[in-house]
Structure 1
Protein backbone atom coordinates (compact mmCIF):
# COMPACT_ATOMS: atom_id res chain seq x y z
CA UNK A 1 0.00 0.00 0.00
CA UNK A 2 2.87 2.35 0.78
CA UNK A 3 4.34 1.75 -2.68
CA UNK A 4 0.96 2.45 -4.29
CA UNK A 5 0.47 5.70 -2.38
CA UNK A 6 3.94 6.79 -3.45
CA UNK A 7 2.87 6.50 -7.10
CA UNK A 8 -0.70 7.86 -7.03
CA UNK A 9 -1.14 9.45 -3.62
CA UNK A 10 -0.52 13.10 -4.48
CA UNK A 11 -3.29 15.66 -5.03
CA UNK A 12 -3.51 15.45 -8.83
CA UNK A 13 -2.56 11.98 -10.11
CA UNK A 14 -5.90 10.21 -9.66
CA UNK A 15 -7.76 13.26 -10.96
CA UNK A 16 -5.61 13.11 -14.08
CA UNK A 17 -6.32 9.39 -14.41
CA UNK A 18 -10.04 10.20 -14.08
CA UNK A 19 -9.88 12.66 -16.99
CA UNK A 20 -8.13 10.07 -19.15
CA UNK A 21 -10.77 7.49 -18.20
CA UNK A 22 -13.46 9.95 -19.31
CA UNK A 23 -11.85 10.06 -22.74
CA UNK A 24 -9.81 13.28 -22.67
CA UNK A 25 -6.62 12.82 -24.68
CA UNK A 26 -5.21 16.26 -25.43
CA UNK A 27 -3.46 18.58 -23.03
CA UNK A 28 -6.06 21.37 -23.22
CA UNK A 29 -8.92 18.95 -22.56
CA UNK A 30 -7.10 17.51 -19.55
CA UNK A 31 -6.40 21.00 -18.23
CA UNK A 32 -10.02 22.06 -18.71
CA UNK A 33 -11.25 19.14 -16.62
CA UNK A 34 -8.89 19.90 -13.71
CA UNK A 35 -9.55 23.46 -12.48
CA UNK A 36 -6.88 24.65 -10.10
CA UNK A 37 -3.90 22.91 -11.68
CA UNK A 38 -1.42 25.07 -13.56
CA UNK A 39 -0.31 24.12 -17.04
CA UNK A 40 3.25 23.75 -15.78
CA UNK A 41 2.19 21.37 -13.02
CA UNK A 42 0.01 19.36 -15.40
CA UNK A 43 2.97 18.98 -17.77
CA UNK A 44 5.07 17.74 -14.87
CA UNK A 45 2.42 15.24 -13.76
CA UNK A 46 2.09 13.87 -17.29
CA UNK A 47 5.86 13.41 -17.53
CA UNK A 48 5.91 11.68 -14.15
CA UNK A 49 3.11 9.30 -15.13
CA UNK A 50 5.00 8.41 -18.29
CA UNK A 51 8.08 7.60 -16.22
CA UNK A 52 6.05 5.44 -13.82
CA UNK A 53 4.44 3.60 -16.74
CA UNK A 54 0.84 4.75 -16.22
CA UNK A 55 0.55 7.02 -19.28
CA UNK A 56 1.95 6.90 -22.81
CA UNK A 57 2.36 9.91 -25.10
CA UNK A 58 1.55 9.45 -28.79
CA UNK A 59 0.94 11.66 -31.83
CA UNK A 60 -2.33 11.84 -33.73
CA UNK A 61 -2.61 11.85 -37.53
CA UNK A 62 -1.81 15.57 -37.60
CA UNK A 63 1.25 15.25 -35.37
CA UNK A 64 -0.40 16.65 -32.24
CA UNK A 65 0.44 14.99 -28.91
CA UNK A 66 -2.14 12.80 -27.19
CA UNK A 67 -2.01 10.95 -23.88
CA UNK A 68 -3.46 7.53 -23.12
CA UNK A 69 -3.46 5.22 -20.14
CA UNK A 70 -1.28 2.13 -20.28
CA UNK A 71 -2.74 -1.17 -19.02
CA UNK A 72 -1.27 -0.34 -15.61
CA UNK A 73 -2.97 3.07 -15.62
CA UNK A 74 -6.29 1.69 -16.87
CA UNK A 75 -6.22 -0.86 -14.03
CA UNK A 76 -6.70 2.07 -11.61
CA UNK A 77 -10.28 2.55 -12.87
CA UNK A 78 -12.05 0.67 -10.02
CA UNK A 79 -10.01 2.62 -7.46
CA UNK A 80 -10.95 5.97 -9.04
CA UNK A 81 -14.70 5.27 -9.06
CA UNK A 82 -14.68 3.66 -5.60
CA UNK A 83 -12.79 6.61 -4.11
CA UNK A 84 -15.33 8.99 -5.63
CA UNK A 85 -18.19 6.86 -4.33
CA UNK A 86 -16.66 6.80 -0.85
CA UNK A 87 -16.26 10.60 -0.88
CA UNK A 88 -19.85 11.16 -2.02
CA UNK A 89 -21.19 8.96 0.76
CA UNK A 90 -18.96 9.93 3.68
CA UNK A 91 -17.21 13.20 2.94
CA UNK A 92 -18.63 15.31 0.09
CA UNK A 93 -21.04 17.94 1.43
CA UNK A 94 -23.03 20.65 -0.29
CA UNK A 95 -20.83 22.59 -2.74
CA UNK A 96 -19.46 25.82 -1.30
CA UNK A 97 -19.90 29.07 -3.16
CA UNK A 98 -16.21 29.21 -4.09
CA UNK A 99 -16.50 25.71 -5.59
CA UNK A 100 -19.25 26.65 -8.03
CA UNK A 101 -17.85 26.76 -11.57
CA UNK A 102 -20.20 26.84 -14.54
CA UNK A 103 -17.50 26.04 -17.12
CA UNK A 104 -16.28 23.03 -15.16
CA UNK A 105 -19.73 21.60 -14.46
CA UNK A 106 -20.73 21.86 -18.16
CA UNK A 107 -17.47 20.19 -19.17
CA UNK A 108 -18.20 17.36 -16.74
CA UNK A 109 -21.80 17.07 -17.95
CA UNK A 110 -20.46 16.84 -21.52
CA UNK A 111 -18.47 13.80 -20.43
CA UNK A 112 -21.69 12.18 -19.17
CA UNK A 113 -23.38 12.28 -22.59
CA UNK A 114 -24.59 8.92 -23.87
CA UNK A 115 -24.06 9.13 -27.61
CA UNK A 116 -26.26 6.11 -28.28
CA UNK A 117 -29.26 7.86 -26.65
CA UNK A 118 -29.07 11.17 -28.51
CA UNK A 119 -31.45 12.20 -31.30
CA UNK A 120 -30.21 11.62 -34.85
CA UNK A 121 -29.78 15.37 -35.39
CA UNK A 122 -27.90 18.18 -33.69
CA UNK A 123 -29.52 19.48 -30.50
CA UNK A 124 -28.43 22.69 -28.77
CA UNK A 125 -29.10 23.02 -25.03
CA UNK A 126 -28.80 26.43 -23.37
CA UNK A 127 -28.22 26.48 -19.60
CA UNK A 128 -29.21 29.48 -17.52
CA UNK A 129 -27.34 28.87 -14.28
CA UNK A 130 -28.54 30.79 -11.26
CA UNK A 131 -25.97 31.85 -8.66
CA UNK A 132 -24.75 35.20 -7.33
CA UNK A 133 -24.61 36.27 -10.99
CA UNK A 134 -26.63 34.31 -13.55
CA UNK A 135 -24.48 32.66 -16.23
CA UNK A 136 -25.23 31.12 -19.62
CA UNK A 137 -23.56 28.07 -21.12
CA UNK A 138 -24.37 25.69 -23.97
CA UNK A 139 -24.05 22.04 -24.91
CA UNK A 140 -24.06 21.17 -28.60
CA UNK A 141 -25.08 17.53 -28.95
CA UNK A 142 -24.54 16.04 -32.39
CA UNK A 143 -24.08 12.46 -33.60
CA UNK A 144 -20.49 11.53 -32.81
CA UNK A 145 -19.56 14.89 -31.30
CA UNK A 146 -20.38 16.83 -28.14
CA UNK A 147 -19.17 20.34 -27.31
CA UNK A 148 -19.43 22.50 -24.18
CA UNK A 149 -19.40 26.25 -24.88
CA UNK A 150 -19.31 29.38 -22.75
CA UNK A 151 -20.31 31.51 -25.76
CA UNK A 152 -23.35 31.12 -27.98
CA UNK A 153 -22.46 28.43 -30.55
CA UNK A 154 -24.35 30.17 -33.36
CA UNK A 155 -27.11 27.56 -33.73
CA UNK A 156 -30.77 27.82 -32.79
CA UNK A 157 -31.45 26.61 -29.26
CA UNK A 158 -33.73 23.57 -28.91
CA UNK A 159 -33.86 23.16 -25.11
CA UNK A 160 -33.48 25.63 -22.25
CA UNK A 161 -32.37 24.40 -18.81
CA UNK A 162 -32.85 26.90 -16.00
CA UNK A 163 -31.13 25.64 -12.88
CA UNK A 164 -29.44 26.61 -9.65
CA UNK A 165 -25.71 26.28 -10.34
CA UNK A 166 -25.30 24.49 -7.02
CA UNK A 167 -28.00 22.01 -7.99
CA UNK A 168 -26.28 21.21 -11.27
CA UNK A 169 -23.12 20.50 -9.27
CA UNK A 170 -25.13 18.12 -7.07
CA UNK A 171 -26.56 16.34 -10.12
CA UNK A 172 -23.11 15.88 -11.64
CA UNK A 173 -21.68 14.69 -8.32
CA UNK A 174 -24.53 12.23 -7.85
CA UNK A 175 -25.91 13.72 -4.64
CA UNK A 176 -29.19 14.77 -6.27
CA UNK A 177 -31.64 13.29 -8.79
CA UNK A 178 -32.90 15.24 -11.80
CA UNK A 179 -36.58 14.33 -11.40
CA UNK A 180 -36.54 15.40 -7.75
CA UNK A 181 -34.74 18.65 -8.62
CA UNK A 182 -37.36 19.45 -11.29
CA UNK A 183 -40.20 18.66 -8.89
CA UNK A 184 -38.66 20.95 -6.24
CA UNK A 185 -38.25 23.80 -8.75
CA UNK A 186 -34.46 23.85 -8.62
CA UNK A 187 -34.29 22.81 -12.29
CA UNK A 188 -36.65 23.61 -15.16
CA UNK A 189 -36.34 22.06 -18.64
CA UNK A 190 -38.27 23.69 -21.48
CA UNK A 191 -38.34 23.42 -25.25
CA UNK A 192 -39.62 21.04 -27.91
CA UNK A 193 -41.75 18.50 -25.98
CA UNK A 194 -40.27 15.38 -27.59
CA UNK A 195 -36.74 16.55 -26.83
CA UNK A 196 -37.61 17.58 -23.28
CA UNK A 197 -39.13 14.14 -22.68
CA UNK A 198 -35.87 12.42 -23.60
CA UNK A 199 -33.45 14.91 -22.03
CA UNK A 200 -32.74 13.08 -18.78
CA UNK A 201 -31.92 9.87 -20.67
CA UNK A 202 -29.17 11.54 -22.68
CA UNK A 203 -26.79 11.54 -19.70
CA UNK A 204 -25.26 8.81 -17.56
CA UNK A 205 -26.13 10.44 -14.24
CA UNK A 206 -24.23 9.08 -11.28
CA UNK A 207 -26.64 7.20 -9.03
CA UNK A 208 -26.77 8.74 -5.53
CA UNK A 209 -25.61 6.56 -2.66
CA UNK A 210 -27.41 6.59 0.65
CA UNK A 211 -25.95 8.63 3.50
CA UNK A 212 -23.90 6.77 6.11
CA UNK A 213 -26.77 6.77 8.60
CA UNK A 214 -29.34 5.40 6.15
CA UNK A 215 -30.79 1.95 6.57
CA UNK A 216 -31.15 1.27 2.88
CA UNK A 217 -28.66 -0.18 0.46
CA UNK A 218 -26.48 2.23 -1.44
CA UNK A 219 -27.07 2.79 -5.15
CA UNK A 220 -24.67 1.61 -7.79
CA UNK A 221 -22.23 3.93 -9.49
CA UNK A 222 -23.25 4.71 -13.04
CA UNK A 223 -19.89 5.29 -14.73
CA UNK A 224 -20.35 7.67 -17.65
CA UNK A 225 -19.09 6.61 -21.04
CA UNK A 226 -16.32 8.56 -22.71
CA UNK A 227 -17.18 11.50 -24.90
CA UNK A 228 -15.32 12.63 -27.99
CA UNK A 229 -13.00 15.58 -27.41
CA UNK A 230 -14.03 18.92 -28.82
Structure 2
Protein backbone atom coordinates (compact mmCIF):
# COMPACT_ATOMS: atom_id res chain seq x y z
CA UNK A 1 0.00 0.00 0.00
CA UNK A 2 1.01 3.58 -0.61
CA UNK A 3 2.56 5.18 2.48
CA UNK A 4 2.32 8.76 3.68
CA UNK A 5 5.16 11.17 3.09
CA UNK A 6 5.89 11.44 6.83
CA UNK A 7 7.43 8.73 8.97
CA UNK A 8 4.85 9.33 11.68
CA UNK A 9 2.49 6.92 13.46
CA UNK A 10 -0.45 9.35 13.26
CA UNK A 11 0.09 9.69 9.51
CA UNK A 12 0.23 5.90 9.14
CA UNK A 13 -2.94 5.51 11.21
CA UNK A 14 -4.84 8.09 9.19
CA UNK A 15 -3.70 6.36 6.00
CA UNK A 16 -5.21 3.10 7.27
CA UNK A 17 -8.50 4.23 8.86
CA UNK A 18 -8.79 7.98 8.51
CA UNK A 19 -11.86 8.32 6.30
CA UNK A 20 -15.51 8.38 7.22
CA UNK A 21 -16.61 5.13 5.60
CA UNK A 22 -13.77 2.97 6.90
CA UNK A 23 -14.50 3.94 10.49
CA UNK A 24 -18.23 3.28 10.04
CA UNK A 25 -17.55 -0.12 8.48
CA UNK A 26 -15.27 -0.85 11.44
CA UNK A 27 -18.11 0.09 13.78
CA UNK A 28 -20.42 -2.43 12.10
CA UNK A 29 -17.83 -5.19 12.24
CA UNK A 30 -17.17 -4.46 15.91
CA UNK A 31 -20.93 -4.66 16.56
CA UNK A 32 -21.02 -8.15 15.08
CA UNK A 33 -22.08 -7.69 11.45
CA UNK A 34 -20.03 -9.94 9.20
CA UNK A 35 -22.13 -10.29 6.03
CA UNK A 36 -21.96 -7.71 3.26
CA UNK A 37 -25.72 -6.99 3.37
CA UNK A 38 -25.70 -6.59 7.15
CA UNK A 39 -22.77 -4.18 7.03
CA UNK A 40 -24.51 -2.24 4.26
CA UNK A 41 -27.74 -2.05 6.27
CA UNK A 42 -25.91 -0.55 9.24
CA UNK A 43 -24.20 2.24 7.25
CA UNK A 44 -26.90 4.43 5.67
CA UNK A 45 -25.70 6.41 2.69
CA UNK A 46 -22.91 4.17 1.46
CA UNK A 47 -23.36 2.63 -1.98
CA UNK A 48 -22.73 -1.05 -2.48
CA UNK A 49 -19.83 -0.44 -4.86
CA UNK A 50 -18.22 1.99 -2.40
CA UNK A 51 -18.66 -0.51 0.42
CA UNK A 52 -16.97 -3.18 -1.70
CA UNK A 53 -14.08 -0.79 -2.35
CA UNK A 54 -13.73 0.04 1.36
CA UNK A 55 -13.71 -3.63 2.34
CA UNK A 56 -11.03 -4.34 -0.27
CA UNK A 57 -8.97 -1.44 1.07
CA UNK A 58 -9.37 -2.69 4.64
CA UNK A 59 -8.24 -6.16 3.56
CA UNK A 60 -5.19 -4.64 1.88
CA UNK A 61 -4.34 -2.81 5.12
CA UNK A 62 -4.64 -6.04 7.11
CA UNK A 63 -7.72 -4.96 9.07
CA UNK A 64 -10.20 -7.48 7.67
CA UNK A 65 -10.16 -10.95 6.17
CA UNK A 66 -12.77 -12.52 3.93
CA UNK A 67 -13.55 -16.13 4.80
CA UNK A 68 -16.35 -18.62 4.10
CA UNK A 69 -18.88 -19.07 6.87
CA UNK A 70 -20.08 -22.57 7.88
CA UNK A 71 -22.55 -22.48 4.97
CA UNK A 72 -19.85 -21.52 2.48
CA UNK A 73 -21.04 -17.91 2.11
CA UNK A 74 -18.51 -15.06 2.27
CA UNK A 75 -18.10 -13.38 5.64
CA UNK A 76 -15.82 -10.61 6.85
CA UNK A 77 -13.79 -10.99 10.03
CA UNK A 78 -11.64 -8.47 11.83
CA UNK A 79 -7.98 -9.39 12.07
CA UNK A 80 -6.16 -8.82 15.38
CA UNK A 81 -5.07 -5.43 13.96
CA UNK A 82 -8.67 -4.53 13.12
CA UNK A 83 -10.05 -5.71 16.46
CA UNK A 84 -7.39 -3.64 18.26
CA UNK A 85 -9.09 -0.51 16.89
CA UNK A 86 -12.14 -1.01 19.11
CA UNK A 87 -10.90 1.40 21.84
CA UNK A 88 -10.29 4.08 19.20
CA UNK A 89 -13.82 3.72 17.79
CA UNK A 90 -15.35 3.77 21.27
CA UNK A 91 -13.31 6.81 22.34
CA UNK A 92 -14.33 8.65 19.18
CA UNK A 93 -17.98 7.95 19.99
CA UNK A 94 -17.52 9.10 23.58
CA UNK A 95 -15.83 12.29 22.38
CA UNK A 96 -18.65 12.99 19.92
CA UNK A 97 -21.33 12.43 22.54
CA UNK A 98 -19.70 15.12 24.67
CA UNK A 99 -18.67 17.65 22.03
CA UNK A 100 -20.27 17.08 18.63
CA UNK A 101 -23.46 15.02 18.50
CA UNK A 102 -26.31 17.26 19.64
CA UNK A 103 -29.96 16.30 19.15
CA UNK A 104 -31.07 14.23 16.15
CA UNK A 105 -32.60 16.13 13.25
CA UNK A 106 -35.88 14.97 11.79
CA UNK A 107 -34.00 13.61 8.75
CA UNK A 108 -31.92 11.40 11.08
CA UNK A 109 -34.95 9.79 12.72
CA UNK A 110 -35.13 6.38 11.07
CA UNK A 111 -37.12 3.64 12.76
CA UNK A 112 -35.58 0.88 10.62
CA UNK A 113 -32.02 1.94 11.40
CA UNK A 114 -32.89 2.34 15.08
CA UNK A 115 -34.28 -1.18 15.32
CA UNK A 116 -31.22 -2.60 13.55
CA UNK A 117 -28.96 -0.87 16.06
CA UNK A 118 -31.01 -2.23 18.97
CA UNK A 119 -30.64 -5.71 17.45
CA UNK A 120 -26.86 -5.24 17.51
CA UNK A 121 -26.97 -4.13 21.16
CA UNK A 122 -28.67 -7.32 22.38
CA UNK A 123 -26.68 -9.22 25.03
CA UNK A 124 -27.59 -12.71 23.92
CA UNK A 125 -26.26 -14.36 27.06
CA UNK A 126 -28.83 -12.43 29.14
CA UNK A 127 -31.91 -13.42 27.15
CA UNK A 128 -34.53 -15.72 28.71
CA UNK A 129 -34.65 -19.35 27.65
CA UNK A 130 -37.74 -18.85 25.50
CA UNK A 131 -38.71 -16.81 22.49
CA UNK A 132 -39.67 -13.25 23.35
CA UNK A 133 -41.34 -10.83 20.93
CA UNK A 134 -41.00 -7.11 21.60
CA UNK A 135 -43.25 -4.66 19.76
CA UNK A 136 -42.15 -1.03 19.41
CA UNK A 137 -44.64 1.77 18.82
CA UNK A 138 -42.60 4.79 17.79
CA UNK A 139 -44.16 8.24 17.75
CA UNK A 140 -43.12 11.40 15.93
CA UNK A 141 -45.11 14.66 16.01
CA UNK A 142 -47.09 15.17 12.83
CA UNK A 143 -46.62 11.61 11.61
CA UNK A 144 -48.51 8.34 12.17
CA UNK A 145 -47.08 5.95 14.70
CA UNK A 146 -44.50 3.53 13.33
CA UNK A 147 -44.33 -0.11 14.41
CA UNK A 148 -41.41 -2.52 14.53
CA UNK A 149 -40.60 -5.80 16.25
CA UNK A 150 -37.63 -7.64 17.73
CA UNK A 151 -37.85 -11.42 17.94
CA UNK A 152 -35.45 -12.74 20.58
CA UNK A 153 -35.12 -16.49 20.15
CA UNK A 154 -33.53 -19.24 22.28
CA UNK A 155 -29.93 -19.76 21.26
CA UNK A 156 -29.35 -16.04 20.75
CA UNK A 157 -30.91 -15.48 17.33
CA UNK A 158 -32.32 -11.96 17.09
CA UNK A 159 -34.49 -10.74 14.21
CA UNK A 160 -35.48 -7.15 13.47
CA UNK A 161 -38.84 -6.99 11.69
CA UNK A 162 -40.74 -4.18 10.03
CA UNK A 163 -43.78 -6.41 9.58
CA UNK A 164 -45.57 -8.32 12.32
CA UNK A 165 -43.58 -11.55 12.79
CA UNK A 166 -46.69 -13.67 13.37
CA UNK A 167 -46.02 -14.47 17.03
CA UNK A 168 -47.79 -13.25 20.14
CA UNK A 169 -46.19 -10.13 21.61
CA UNK A 170 -44.69 -10.42 25.11
CA UNK A 171 -43.34 -6.89 25.72
CA UNK A 172 -44.57 -3.57 24.36
CA UNK A 173 -42.33 -0.49 24.12
CA UNK A 174 -44.03 2.83 23.38
CA UNK A 175 -41.45 5.52 22.72
CA UNK A 176 -40.89 8.96 21.36
CA UNK A 177 -38.77 8.22 18.28
CA UNK A 178 -36.31 11.05 18.90
CA UNK A 179 -35.87 10.09 22.55
CA UNK A 180 -35.19 6.46 21.73
CA UNK A 181 -32.56 7.62 19.22
CA UNK A 182 -30.93 9.56 22.07
CA UNK A 183 -31.01 6.49 24.30
CA UNK A 184 -29.42 4.30 21.63
CA UNK A 185 -26.79 6.95 20.89
CA UNK A 186 -26.00 7.29 24.59
CA UNK A 187 -26.91 10.97 24.95
CA UNK A 188 -29.86 10.02 27.17
CA UNK A 189 -30.43 7.08 29.51
CA UNK A 190 -33.27 4.61 29.30
CA UNK A 191 -33.95 5.12 32.99
CA UNK A 192 -34.38 8.89 32.53
CA UNK A 193 -36.50 8.39 29.40
CA UNK A 194 -38.81 6.11 31.35
CA UNK A 195 -39.06 8.56 34.25
CA UNK A 196 -40.07 11.31 31.80
CA UNK A 197 -42.67 9.08 30.16
CA UNK A 198 -41.01 9.31 26.74
CA UNK A 199 -40.36 5.57 26.83
CA UNK A 200 -42.92 3.21 28.40
CA UNK A 201 -42.72 -0.56 28.91
CA UNK A 202 -45.62 -2.97 29.33
CA UNK A 203 -46.25 -6.69 29.02
CA UNK A 204 -45.51 -9.78 31.09
CA UNK A 205 -44.20 -8.28 34.34
CA UNK A 206 -41.05 -10.40 34.63
CA UNK A 207 -40.08 -9.84 31.00
CA UNK A 208 -40.83 -6.10 31.05
CA UNK A 209 -38.72 -5.75 34.20
CA UNK A 210 -35.83 -7.68 32.60
CA UNK A 211 -35.97 -5.83 29.26
CA UNK A 212 -33.44 -3.05 30.12
CA UNK A 213 -30.81 -5.65 31.01
CA UNK A 214 -30.96 -7.31 27.59
CA UNK A 215 -29.08 -4.49 25.83
CA UNK A 216 -25.59 -2.99 25.92
CA UNK A 217 -26.69 0.60 26.42
CA UNK A 218 -24.06 3.29 25.81
CA UNK A 219 -25.08 5.61 28.67
CA UNK A 220 -23.49 4.64 31.98
CA UNK A 221 -26.68 4.89 34.07
CA UNK A 222 -28.23 2.05 32.08
CA UNK A 223 -25.26 -0.34 31.98
CA UNK A 224 -26.06 -1.88 35.33
CA UNK A 225 -29.76 -2.50 34.62
- Aligned pair partner of 2:23 in 6, 14, 21: 14
- Following the alignment from structure 1 to structure 2, what is the Cα–Cα distance between the partners of residues 202 and 61? 27
Relative to its length, the structure with more helix (as a share) is 2
TM superposition shift of 1:93: 0.3
1:183-202 residue pairs with structure 2 within 5 A?
183-202=195-214
1:43-192 residue pairs with structure 2 within 5 A?
43-131=52-140, 132-143=143-154, 144-192=156-204
TM superposition shift of 1:162: 0.6
Aligned to 1:227: none
- Following the alignment from structure 1 to structure 2, what is the Cα–Cα distance between the partners of residues 55 and 178? 34
TM superposition shift of 1:62: 2.2
- Following the alignment from structure 2 to structure 1, what is the Cα–Cα distance between the partners of residues 70 and 121? 26
TM superposition shift of 1:133: 3.2
Aligned to 1:225: none
In the alignment, is the contact (CA less than 8 A) between 2:182 and 2:188 conserved in 1?
A: yes
Structure 1: tracts of 5 or more residues without a match = 209-218, 223-230
Equivalent position SS for 1:198 = helix
Equivalent position SS for 2:32 = coil
Equivalent position SS for 1:53 = coil
In the alignment, is the contact (CA less than 8 A) between 2:183 and 2:219 conserved in 1?
A: no
Structure 2: tracts of 5 or more residues without a match = 1-9
- Following the alignment from structure 2 to structure 1, what is the Cα–Cα distance between the partners of residues 69 and 209? 38
- State TM-score, norm by structure 1: 0.88
- State TM-score, norm by structure 2: 0.90
1:212-223 residue pairs with structure 2 within 5 A?
none
Moved over 3 A (4+): none
- Following the alignment from structure 2 to structure 1, what is the Cα–Cα distance between the partners of residues 151 and 209? 18
Aligned to 1:211: none
TM superposition shift of 1:179: 1.7
- Following the alignment from structure 1 to structure 2, what is the Cα–Cα distance between the partners of residues 51 and 115? 32
